[in-house]
Amino acid sequence: MPGTFDRARGRALTREVSPEFADAVSSYFKTREPDFEAAKRSQEAYFAALRAHGTEVVTLPAIRGYPDCSFTEDTAVIIDDKALIPNLGHPSRDGEQESIAEYLDDSFEIARMPKGATLDGGDVVFYDDRFLVGISTRTNREGASFLADHAKEAGFGVQLLDVPESTLHLTTVCSSPRTGTIVAAEGHLRSPDLSFAEEIIWIPAEESYAANTIAYGDRLIIAEGYKKARQLMMDAGFSVTTLEMGEFREVDASLTCLSVFIG
Ligand code: GLY
C-alpha cells in the first residue's frame, strides 16, 4: 500500500530571517551584498501568500550563529508520521536542525540520520509514488540511503538523481507541482533522468530559478521576474502568483527553501 504523503500544505514550519543573513552561504547567484531588511519584507510577503492559499504558518525565532537558518526546508523531511532529521551538508548549517527536531518531537516520530550521512531537504522532491533525491555537494549516498529506507518502509519508491555542479540543490532546478508533472530547468536536468514523469514543463535555462514552485492544486507560486516561465505555467493550466525573491536568490535560496510543510 502506498504511503500517505499528500500535497495538502496545511501547515508550514518556517523561521525568521537571521540578522546575520548577509553571511549566508552563497556559491551560485551572488551579485551583491544581500540585504537583511529586504529579505524580511520578502519573507513577510511569502508568509502572506502561503496563508492566502490556506497554509497555517508557524515561525520559529532565528538562531544566532546560523545565517541560513530561515531555510527550514533543509532541516527535516516528513514522511507520514515520521520526521527525518538530517545532518546538513554544509558545516556552517549543521545544527540548524536541532530546534526543528525539538519542535517536531511533539507530533512526529523523530528519525535521526547516522553520523557521516548528510542530506539537505532541498535535495528532496516528492513525485506521486516516489521521492526524488538529488546527490549533490550537500547530500551524499549514505544520506539518500537513510531517506530511502524510511520512504520504502512507508510504501514509496526512491529515485536518485545526480545534481549537476551548476546548481546547489535538486529543488533549485526541479519541482513537482501536481500529480504526474515535473517542472525542470533546461541545461541542468536531462530528459532521460525524468523519463518516469507523465509531463515535463521545461523552463528555459536563463530562467532556471523559476523551476522551483509551490503548488496548491492548479494555483502556483513562482518567483517574480521570469516571464517565459510564468507563461509556460499558465499554458499548462496553472493560475500563477509571483513573489519577489531577489534577496534570497543572492544566497542561492528559492521559494521552497523557506518552509518545510508538516501537515
Ligand atoms: N544559502 C543556502 C545554502 O547554501 O544552503
Q: What is the pLDDT of residue 8?
A: 84
Q: What is the pLDDT of residue 5?
A: 60
Q: What angle do CA 181, 259, 186 make, to 5 degrees?
A: 40
Q: What is the pLDDT of residue 1?
A: 36
* Arithmetic mean of pLDDT over the chain: 96
212, β-bridge pairs: none
C-alpha 10 – ligand 1 centre gap (Å):
25
Q: Is 209 exposed, middle or buried (0-12, 13-18, 19+ CB in 10 A)?
A: buried
The closest alpha carbon to 259, from 83, 57, 64, 2, belongs to 57
**Mutation probe of ligand 1 site: the residue of 15, 21, 68 with most atoms within 8 A of C-beta:** 68
Tens-digit pLDDT profile for residues 20-65? 999 999 999 889 999 999 999 999 999 999 999 999 999 999 999 9
**3-state DSSP call for residue 190?**
coil
Q: What is the pLDDT of residue 135?
A: 98
Dihedral sign for Cα 44, 46, 49, 53, please.
negative
Tens-digit pLDDT profile for residues 154-213? 999 999 999 999 999 999 999 999 999 999 999 999 999 999 999 999 999 999 999 999
The closest alpha carbon to 209, from 180, 181, 174, belongs to 174
How far is it, in rounded angstroms, from Cα 9 to Cα 141? 28
Closest protein CA for atom 1 of ligand 1:
25
C-alpha 205 – ligand 1 centre gap (Å):
21
Ligand 1 atom having least distance to the Cα of 257: 2
C-alpha 1 – ligand 1 centre gap (Å):
36
C-alpha 252 – ligand 1 centre gap (Å):
6
Looking at residue 108, the DSSP 8-state letter turns out to be S
Query: What does the block give as the cell for 173?
Result: 532546478
How far is it, in rounded angstroms, from Cα 253 to Cα 237? 26
C-alpha 151 – ligand 1 centre gap (Å):
25
Q: What is the pLDDT of residue 202?
A: 98
Q: Which residues touch 194 (CB under 8 Å, ≥6 apart)?
A: 182, 184, 200
Task: Give the distance from CA 28 to its chain's centroid.
Answer: 16
**Mutation probe of ligand 1 site: the residue of 66, 251, 258, 260 with most atoms within 8 A of C-beta:** 251
Q: What is the pLDDT of residue 6?
A: 66
- 70 in Cβ contact with 18 (< 8 Å): yes
The residue length of the chain stands at 263
- 244 in Cβ contact with 39 (< 8 Å): no
Taking the domains of the chain in order of start, what are their residue ranges? 4-261
Closest protein CA for atom 3 of ligand 1:
25
Q: Find the residues whose C-beta lies inside 6 A of ligand 1.
A: 24-26, 68, 71, 90, 93, 168, 251-253
* Domain 4-261: assigned CATH number: 3.75.10.10
89 — phi, psi (to 5°)?
-80, -10
Query: What does the block give as the cell for 177?
Result: 507541482
Tens-digit pLDDT profile for residues 142-170? 999 999 999 999 999 999 999 999 999 99
Q: Is the pLDDT of residue 18 over 90?
A: yes
Q: Which residues touch 140 (CB under 8 Å, ≥6 apart)?
A: 89, 117, 118, 119
C-alpha 68 – ligand 1 centre gap (Å):
6
**Mutation probe of ligand 1 site: the residue of 20, 90, 92 with most atoms within 8 A of C-beta:** 90
pLDDT category, 2, cuts 50, 70, 90?
Answer: very low
C-alpha 237 – ligand 1 centre gap (Å):
32
Query: Can you tell me the mean pLDDT for 124-141?
Result: 97
Q: Is the pLDDT of residue 242 over 90?
A: yes
Query: Can you tell me the mean pLDDT for 217-244?
Result: 98
Q: Is the pLDDT of residue 3 over 70?
A: no
Q: Quote the longest CA-to-CA distance of the chain.
A: 50
How far is it, in rounded angstroms, from Cα 150 to Cα 155? 9
